[in-house]
Structure 1
C-alpha cells in the first residue's frame, strides 16, 4: 500500500518545514493567476506579487528536491515565459523538456485563436536524473523489423482529453488534471517506493495516481474542502485511470506474420494498458476489425 500524506496548508509554509533533498519527484500545478475560483482568492494577485510567490515556492521546491530529482510545473500561456526564466536563471535548475499538453476542447474566442493547450516545464536539479523511457513508450504505427516494438518515445506534444463533467471521476475542482497525463510523469521520473510531492494538490490527481503506481506521495492543499474530497477519492475502488493517450490503443499495421502478431498482442496490454483496464475492450475490438482476432479468455 502506497504511503500517502495529505496536508491542509499553504504550499510555501509547508515546503519550508520539509527536510532538504527529501523528495524524488515534484509535480506542481500552481494557480495560473487567471482568476479561477479555488475558494480562497489564491488565483488573482498583482503580477509582481505572483512572480515573487512563484520564485519563493520554487526556491523551496529546489531545496527539498533530491540531487537526482525532477520537477514538472504546469503553466498557462500568460506566465509561462516568466516561469521558465525563474526556474533556469533564478533557481539554477537544468532544463529538460517543454511539453505541450493538447486537449480537444477549450475556451472559444471570436478574435484570435482559441487556446487548446497547456504547457509543462520539465527541469532537473542536476545533470544526473532518473528517466524511464520504457515505462512511457507508445505503440508503433507499423510493424517493422528495425522498429522497437516495445514502443516509441511519446515526444513532447501529448493529447489527453480534459476530465469532462460527465466523467464519473470528475471532481468539484475547476482545473482537474487527467490521471493518464500525471501517470506518464510519475512513471517516467520516479521509481516504485520513491516520494512524489504535489505542493498544489487540488483535486488530488497526483496522490490518486501514486496510490495506484506504488509511489509514496505527499500533497499540500490550501482549501480544506478539496482535502476532504481527495480523501474520499482515495477511498474509491480503482478500475482504471480516467484518461488515456489515444495512441495507447493503437494497433500496429503490418503484423502479418502470425508468430510476431501473437507475441505482440500478448504483450500489448502489459506494455501500454496496465493501468487502463477500462480501455482493453476497445483495443480488442480494434484488433478484431484489423486482424479478425478476438481476445482469448
Structure 2
C-alpha cells in the first residue's frame, strides 16, 4: 500500500494588493491566518446564472448543497479574518423552477437565459420563494459567525419583472457578520447626511457594466461596508471578486485588497478597471494547488 503525505500549500506573504485567479475554496488556503481586516463580497446566487466555467458555485443540484458549499468557503474566510474583523455579505434570493429545465432571456437582460435549472428542492413547492439569504445567514450563524445585522439594499432602478401574481422584487440583503463578539466598526465614517446613525435600509441604484453583461456590485454599496469595517492601509478581501468593484473601492479609499476570482474573463475586466486608476496593472497570481 502506498502512502503519500499531504502537506498544506504554503501561505502567501501579503505585500500589497493582489488578485488570485482560481477557486476560492483553494485560493483561500494560501492566505495567512488573521491577516484580513474586512471582507466584502457577493457570491454567485443559486440557480440564477450559468457562468459556463468548471468549478462554478451556484448550480449545485440542491440549494442545501449550495449553502453547505458557501458555509465551507466562509469557514476558511473566518480563519483569515482578524479577531476584530467583519464580513459584509450580499446575497440575493430565487424561486424554485417549477420543473422547468430552462429559463428564457429577458429583453433587458440577455444574461438571464439559462439552459440548466436545478430541480425544485426537497421540502419546497413549485413557485416557492426559496429564502436563500436567511437560510445562508442562519447556517453561517450556526457555524460560528456572529450575525450582527441584516441590511436591505433597496434598488430604486430595479429590473422589471413580467409577473402578475406577486410584487416585483426590488431589494436584496446584505448581512453584517463578525468573527468575535467585539469587533471594529467605525459608525462615524458612515453616518447619514443628517448626522444620525446609519439606518438598515440603503437606497442604492444598480450599476450596469457593458463588458460584464450584468449588473455589477455598485461602488456606492461597497463603500460604506469598507469605511465602517476597516482603516486606511488595512487588507480587505473579496473571495468572489467578479468585475473587481471591491478592489476599485479599496484603491480609492487607500485600503489594500486581496481578490479571488475563478473566471479569467472577469479578472480581465477587473484588471482593466483597476488599471484605469493605477499607474501600473495590478498583480494577478494564478492559484494551482
Same fold (TM over 0.5): yes
1:11 lines up with 2:11 in the alignment: no
1:55 lines up with 2:95 in the alignment: no
Aligned equivalent of 2:57, options 27, 33, 42: 42
The separation in 1 between residues aligned to 2:160 and 2:30, in whole angstroms, is: 38
Kept after mapping to 2: 8 A contact 1:37/1:174: no
Kept after mapping to 2: 8 A contact 1:39/1:223: no
Deviation (angstroms), 1:116: 0.4
1:195 maps to what in 2?
235
Kept after mapping to 2: 8 A contact 1:38/1:174: no
Deviation (angstroms), 1:39: 3.4
Where 1:80 maps in the other structure, the secondary structure is helix
Aligned equivalent of 1:113, options 147, 155, 167: 167
How large is the Cα RMSD of the aligned pairs? 1.7
1:88 lines up with 2:88 in the alignment: no
- TM-score, normalised on structure 2? 0.73
Aligned equivalent of 2:176, options 105, 122, 136: 122
Kept after mapping to 1: 8 A contact 2:208/2:215: no
Deviations 1:195-232 (A, max 9, x none): 00000000100000000100010000000011011111
Deviations 1:98-138 (A, max 9, x none): 00000021241221111100101101111221111221112
Report the CA distance shift for 1:38/1:174 in structure 2 as closer, same or farther (over 3 A). farther
2:88 maps to what in 1?
72
2:109 maps to what in 1?
none
Q: How does 1:232-247 map to 2 (within 5 A)?
A: 232-237=272-277
Aligned equivalent of 2:212, options 149, 152, 172: 172
Where 1:31 maps in the other structure, the secondary structure is coil
Deviation (angstroms), 1:57: 0.3
- More helix by proportion, 1 or 2? 1
1:231 maps to what in 2?
271
1:139 maps to what in 2?
193
Report the CA distance shift for 1:197/1:113 in structure 2 as closer, same or farther (over 3 A). same
Kept after mapping to 2: 8 A contact 1:183/1:209: yes
Query: Greater Rg, structure 1 or structure 2?
Result: 1
Deviation (angstroms), 1:159: 0.6
Aligned equivalent of 2:42, options 16, 26, 29: 29
- Point out 4+ residue stretches in structure 1 off by more than 2 angstroms: none
Deviation (angstroms), 1:49: 2.2
Where 1:164 maps in the other structure, the secondary structure is strand
Deviations 1:73-113 (A, max 9, x none): 111133112111111112x1112110000002124122111
The separation in 2 between residues aligned to 1:11 and 1:50, in whole angstroms, is: 14
The separation in 2 between residues aligned to 1:107 and 1:11, in whole angstroms, is: 32
- TM-score, normalised on structure 1? 0.71
1:209 lines up with 2:249 in the alignment: yes
Kept after mapping to 1: 8 A contact 2:152/2:202: yes
The separation in 2 between residues aligned to 1:193 and 1:107, in whole angstroms, is: 40
Unaligned runs of 5+ in 1: 141-150, 239-297
Report the CA distance shift for 1:31/1:154 in structure 2 as closer, same or farther (over 3 A). same
